[in-house]
Amino acid sequence: MGQQLEILRGISVAEFGDDFAGAVCAYHLHLLGAEVSLYEPPEGCELRRLAARRPTSGLFAYAGRGRISRPLDAFLAAPPAPLPDIVIEPAFSAPAVAAAIEARRDVSPGSILLSFREADATRLTELTAQAEGGITAYLGREAEPPVRVGMEIMSYSAATLAVQAVLAALRVRNTTGRGQSLRVPLSRVSSSILSNVTAASVEPDQPAHFSRGWSHPPARGFAAAGGSIEILFYGPASERGWPGFCHAIGAADIAADPRFDSYAKRLDHGQELAAVLAPYTQSIPRDELIALVRRHDGMAMPKHSVMEAAAWEQSRANAMMTAQGLPAAPWELGGQRAQASGVSP
């Protein structure tokens, strides 16, 4: 479990475990020091039941931590006493919970109510939010169907924005003594995620060309000794640096190849570029190759495997990988099937 801070010490949170965004938000509030109560029926909350149906997903193992499990009846049958400081409302229809919250609002002027529902009180699914928000338009290859982001990016981003909203509401409450009703609908989250690429679009209704590189081949990066890296030469300075980089690794012929003489062309022929570069780069140590790219005004970063990421100090400190480790394979990551070939748990 991640190290708990003291920022929200003394703050109480109620959550109902029916939604990933709400669960992640609650976990982050716990990390800031709040006491989080998860109110669930005898059969367990929806996320707990989902985890039981999909034991390899790791969803509840991450988002379900840092809570005190309490019976849902304790919340529903509570006398008209003040609500907790923060109530993360159920994302989907829960009339009994909604009625219990409404019955206690008059005696809870300082409570902060948080909802991830839309203006019409519906809750978008992750896939619908990605599609309607436009993020799928920036993934995949041209002339092919759009691609879903493998992780629950809309829900996770909504949770992050919600934590910011809650902290702002708590700050206001310190001055006014009044709580607020906050709403972070998933349909509006994409404007935050896509702000960098939408601003770069030449035509309002068309995604910027460079954004397709997010999922363009080569998906496994460029070969280097000790691992692979991501290489990007984009913008005037980087375009001037591309020939110099090619000469530095002894690949002057690649610099002159018309398939690779612009950023857009390198995207369109990414798989071919990785193949022709490999004989020149695979013997160069990864860190050395990254430094070489950067010296020629390019951008480079290492591509880490899941097991490398699991070994990071931050990953261990925040228990991002569950204690039992990864199953043999295939396994699920964000709802996507994956194969950890040749890697033992």
Neighbours of 104 (CB within 10 A): 19
Q: What mean pLDDT do residues 284-289 have?
A: 92
Asked whether residue 29 carries a pLDDT value surpassing 50, the answer given is yes
| Percent of the chain surpassing pLDDT 70 | 73
Asked whether residue 251 carries a pLDDT value surpassing 60, the answer given is yes
pTM: 0.66
Neighbours of 41 (CB within 10 A): 14
pLDDT tens, position by position, 85-137:
999 999 887 899 999 999 998 899 999 999 998 888 888 888 888 887 777 76
CATH class of 222-303: alpha beta
Q: Where are the domains of the chain?
A: 12-195, 222-303, 306-338
Q: What is the pLDDT of residue 214?
A: 40
- The CATH fold of domain 12-195: Rossmann fold (3.40.50)
Amino acid identity at 302: P
Strand partners, 333: 336
Amino acid identity at 338: A
CA 334 to chain centre: 10
Asked whether residue 170 carries a pLDDT value surpassing 80, the answer given is yes
How confident is residue 218, by pLDDT bands cut at 50, 70 and 90? low
Burial class (CB in 10 A: 0-12, 13-18, 19+), 228: buried
